[in-house]
Amino acid sequence: MKDKTETRSAKPVVLLCPAPQKRDRIFTADALKRLKNNFQVVHLEDSSDPGELDRRLPEAFAIVGQPDLDTGRLEAAENLRALINVEGNFFPNVDYPTAFSHGVRVLGCGSAYAQAVAEYSLGLAIDLARGISWQDAAMRAGEEKYVSESNSGAVLLHRAPVGILGYGNLGRRLHRLIQPFQNEVRIYDPWLPPAVVEEDGGIAATLEETLSASRFIYVFATATADSAHLLDAAKLDLLQQDARIILVSRAAVVDYEALHERLVTGRLYAAIDVWPTEPLPADSPFRELPNVILSPHRAGGIEQAFHSIGDMVVDDLLLMERGLPPVRLQPAAPELVGRYRNKPVG
C-alpha cells in the first residue's frame, strides 16, 4: 500500500473517454504532452475492458468526455472534481444534481465552436442575400444569366433588419461579427434580462416581434423541452415575404415539415446546416428546393475549433489541480443543464 507521502505526490488521474470525439482530433501532440506531463492519463478510448471505467472512478480527478454517470457511479467517484464534455453538448446521461452536490464542476467546450459557427452563419446569410452558390450551380449547368438578369431576388445584408434567436456563445459572437453591416438587430432569448441584450447594442424582443420584423433570422436556440418546435407553422407564418432563415444550431427547435411547406411556396429562403435525421436522406424533399442552401452539419467542425478544445481542457485542468477555478471552459448552470435535450453529433 502507498504511504501518504507517495499518495500526495502522485499525479491526479484524468480519465480520457472523449467519445464521440476522438482523442487525436481534439488534442494536438503538444497539448497531449502537457496533459501527460501533469496528470496520470488513462486512455479509456483505447481500452477493450468495459469494466475499466468503473474500476478507475474512485481515483479519478477529472473525466474528459461524458460517459453514462448515474448516481451510483458518481457516488463511487469520491475524488472527482471535473466532468468535461468535449462534444459541445450536455447530454441527459448524467445525474447532474448528484454531481453538483458532490462539488463536481460540469464543464463544456461549446465556446470553442463559436467563431467557426458565426463565420459560417454570416457566409450563409451573404449567400442567401446574393445567390452565390445558386449562380455557381447555374453556370456549371450552362444555364447562367448575366449582370442584373442574374440578380432576381438578391438583396443587401447591409442595414437589413436582423433577428437572432438565442443569445449564448453563438448568438453573441455572430452579433459582434455583423457590426460592420449596421443592422438593426432584435434578439430573443427568454433566459436573459433585456439589459444584457441592450448593453450589446441589440433590441430585446419577443419571439413574435423578432420573427415579424426581421429579413434575416439566425437560429441559435438550444434544444430544451420548452423549445421543441419553437418555430412551428404559426411562428413561421410570422416571417415576412422573402425572409431569409439561417438554421445552424439545433434541428429540434424547428418543425421541418411546416418549414418545407412554406419553402415550397417560394415565400421564404433558407440555409440549413442541421437536420432532424443525419445524414439527410437521399430522397429528402429539401434536396429539390431551389430556394434552399443545403449544408451537411459542418458549421463548427473545423480543425482549429477541435484543437482549441484540447488546449482549453489542459489549461483548465492545470488551474483546478492548483486549487483555482477554470476560466476557459464553460461551466454548466445547475438550473439549466437538466433542461437540455441535446443529442450527440454524428
> What's the whole-number mean pLDDT along residues 114-121?
97
For residues 210 and 152, the model is more confident at 210
Position 140 in a domain: yes
Contact 35, 86 (CB under 8 A): no
Instruction: List the domain range (segments joined by +) for residue 334.
Output: 4-109+303-339
**pLDDT value of residue 341:** 61
Number of structural domains (the chain) is 2
> What's the whole-number mean pLDDT along residues 155-164?
98
**pLDDT value of residue 336:** 83
Whether the pLDDT of residue 338 is over 90: the answer is no
Give the pLDDT band of residue 48 (cuts 50, 70, 90): confident
Position 346 in a domain: no
Does this model's pTM top 0.85? My answer is yes
For residues 49 and 1, the model is more confident at 49
Q: Which pLDDT tens digit goes with each residue over 125-135?
A: 999 999 999 99
> What's the whole-number mean pLDDT along residues 17-24?
94
Residue type at 118?
A
**pLDDT value of residue 346:** 55
Average pLDDT of the chain to the nearest whole number: 93
For position 229, which CATH number holds?
Answer: 3.40.50.720
Task: Give yes or no: residues 178 and 66 share one domain.
Answer: no
**pLDDT value of residue 201:** 97
Task: Give yes or no: residues 146 and 274 share one domain.
Answer: yes
For residues 250 and 179, the model is more confident at 179
Task: Give yes or no: residues 334 and 224 share one domain.
Answer: no
Position 199 in a domain: yes
> What's the whole-number mean pLDDT along residues 215-240?
90
Give the pLDDT band of residue 200 (cuts 50, 70, 90): very high
Position 344 in a domain: no
Task: Give yes or no: residues 128 and 217 share one domain.
Answer: yes
Task: Give yes or no: residues 126 and 253 share one domain.
Answer: yes
Contact 63, 13 (CB under 8 A): no
State how far the Cα of 251 lies from the Cα of 228, in Å rounded to an integer. 9
**pLDDT value of residue 249:** 86
Task: Give yes or no: residues 134 and 259 share one domain.
Answer: yes
